[in-house]
Structure 1
Amino acid sequence: MASPGKKSFALRLDPALYTALERAAASDFRSVNAQVEVLLREALAKRGVKVEAGEPAKRGRPVKEEDADG
């Protein structure tokens, strides 16, 4: 399932290309999906295509709210 605010679509890849993506992602401690996104952003930047920065992913535990009594 796609994260909120992310577009989901099917992508068919050559198995050898997917294997190479897996290796590259593992060496960068990323998921294959995140690796594809990074590579696409790098390729677009190299071509001079500007991509608006998305909202950063929320990481870590949610902040505990203080009790009303204090």
Structure 2
Amino acid sequence: MARKNVPLRIDPAVYDAIARWAHDDLRSVNAQIEVMLRDQLRQAGRLPKSTGSLPRRGRPPKQSSPGDDTAG
């Protein structure tokens, strides 16, 4: 399923606090906001069962090309 893009208006001081927290947890601000939203949905008992796990941190794994000897 494709991820949704959502514009968000947020108080600059709140953004800065989230950015510091994200930095401490080695996440992007976007990933930190998603973690926060998922935690609140879970606590409220509203997180859908079909919700996938959080994306892994960092860059996606490099896809090996045909003839690439670096995989395996």
Q: Same fold (TM over 0.5)?
A: yes
Instruction: Tell me the secondary structure at the aligned position of residue 37 of structure 1.
Output: helix
CA offsets 1:13-62 (integer angstroms, 9 cap, x no match): 01110000000000000000000000000000000012321685682211
> Over the residues paired in the alignment, what is the CA RMSD in angstroms?
2.4
1:16–1:56 Cα change, 3 Å: closer
State the identity as a percent.
Answer: 39
Q: Which residue does the alignment assign to 2:33?
A: 36
Q: TM-score, normalised by structure 2?
A: 0.74
- Aligned-partner Cα distance in 1 for 2:28–2:16: 12
Structure 2 gap ranges (5+): none
Q: TM-score, normalised by structure 1?
A: 0.76
Structure 1 gap ranges (5+): none
Runs of 4+ with deviation above 4 angstroms: 54-58
Greater relative contact order: 1 or 2 (C-alpha under 8 angstroms, separation 6 or more)? Answer: 2
Is 1:9 the counterpart of 2:6? The answer is yes
Is 1:27 the counterpart of 2:24? The answer is yes
